[in-house]
Amino acid sequence: MFKILRQQRLWCRLLAGIGMMLSGLQSAPLSADEVTITARYMGNGVNFENTTPQAGFCGRWPGNCLGRFTVGLPISYDKKAVKTAPDVRDRFFVKVPASRVVTVTNAENGSSYPITFEFRAISQRVAASGGLYNNPVFTAYVGGCRYRLTYGFVNWSQYLWGVPNPVSPPSCSSNADGPVAGTEVDTRNTDFGIEYGLAMPSPLRMKHGLYRGQIIYTIGPGADFDFGNNVTNLNSPTVTLNFELDVKHAFVLDFPPGSERAVLEPPNGWLDWVNRGRKPQRLYREHPFRIWSSGPFKVYMRCDQSVGEACAIQNSEGHDVPVQVALSLPETITHSGTPVKQLPIPTRETAALVFDSLAPTLNRQGRLHYEVAREHAGEMLKYPGTTYSGNVTLVFDAEL
């Protein structure tokens, strides 16, 4: 009888405990001119879930926020707007930043990924002197941006404009419908909100953990946010956007009872050897298991005794032979872009096999394969009456 012991479950539980401690890290407090954009992946589906609180304008126009990413920005200021001024910067004027790439990094393992952030729509609440019809945004005639919606009430109005080219946004301006050309209107601008686009990497390829990045935008004439001329009482010369992507992969292995012991024997048993003296072609055993996985992981093994690059089993007389341990996985998991079918597992962590997910794997079957090749099985027959045994620890590392 030949046996191999496998101590896999305990190792997986330890790794899961580490992941829980890492995911408990808290964000640093924000200053008044900062906002955090958050998304998470919990191991279900193939995309991130947006967890950022919606912008204020979504309360008024919820239909314009369904399926879209929005957020409020802490920007407020006063501006004197001049109707149909020759310089559009003297009118009600808004220019938002161009799209930008920011790198988010996992501080625990150093992994980093680029994400692209862009502005797709803008909204403000604009209070204006002289009543609603003097309000420069109480109009459907907008230059540069695309008009979506306007709501007016006595001495204030709220607008929602689409940004036609988020990669390189144009400047946008508007004039009040009511007053004559040249009329000056003092405005107070608050409740700045945006609809944004966020191109993120596939969470299926990201390692478990919390990823953070940051963009600091300037505000002022010629800056990232530009509100034209005659701007006063700007609450801050900058606004900081913090990005947090929280990746929590599902990773569960379930082995049937008795899987900690593998008894190797010929595929058709020992009768051919006992009754006919035919040497076995190989000694073999398969163990099925169930796997749940939504992200990358690596696998390697540790041996109590080894022969070359393989684990070994040994008898009481000190004779040992190598055992190849191989792995098969569902088609939703690949290694170097190829399916995983009886792939030999290395014995060193530095040579560990790294696997990627094409889609979440939920309660699918995998297999472990143990084999002593024909030439080594023949050597074992020279020691009748002895038992070969050895311990192998398989390491499934979802923390990478």
Report which secondary-structure segment, H or E, holds 209.
strand 209-218
Q: How many CB atoms lie within 10 A of CB 374?
A: 12
Q: What is the pLDDT of residues 64-107, one digit of tens each?
A: 999 999 999 999 999 999 999 999 999 999 999 999 999 999 98
Residue 25 has pLDDT above 80, yes or no: no
Query: Judging by DSSP bridges, how do beta strands 209-218 and 100-106 pair with one another?
Result: antiparallel
N-to-C CA span, the chain: 36
Q: What is the pLDDT of residues 300-345, one digit of tens each?
A: 999 999 998 899 999 999 999 999 999 999 999 999 999 999 999 9
Between residues 13 and 46, the one the model is more confident about? 46
What one-character-per-residue DSSP string does 257-277 give?
Answer: TTTTEEE-B-TT-SHHHHHH-
Instruction: Say what the pLDDT of residue 14 is.
Output: 22
Residue 206 structure tokens: 């990201």
CATH topology of domain 2-14+251-397: Immunoglobulin-like (2.60.40)
Instruction: Say what the pLDDT of residue 31 is.
Output: 55
Domain limits of the chain? 2-14+251-397, 44-247
58 DSSP assignment? H
Residue 337 structure tokens: 């872009």
Separation of alpha carbons 161 and 234, rounded Å: 22
Q: The whole model's pTM is what?
A: 0.79
Q: Which of 135-144, 278-287, 353-362 is least confident?
A: 278-287
Residues forming beta bridges with residue 126, ordered by sequence position: 157, 189
Separation of alpha carbons 55 and 64, rounded Å: 11
Separation of alpha carbons 129 and 182, rounded Å: 15
Torsion region of 128: left, alpha or beta (phi above 0 gives left; psi -120 to 50 gives alpha)? beta
Q: What percent of the chain has pLDDT over 70?
A: 91
Q: What angle do CA 284, 289, 294 make, to 5 degrees?
A: 130
Residue 60 structure tokens: 């008024």
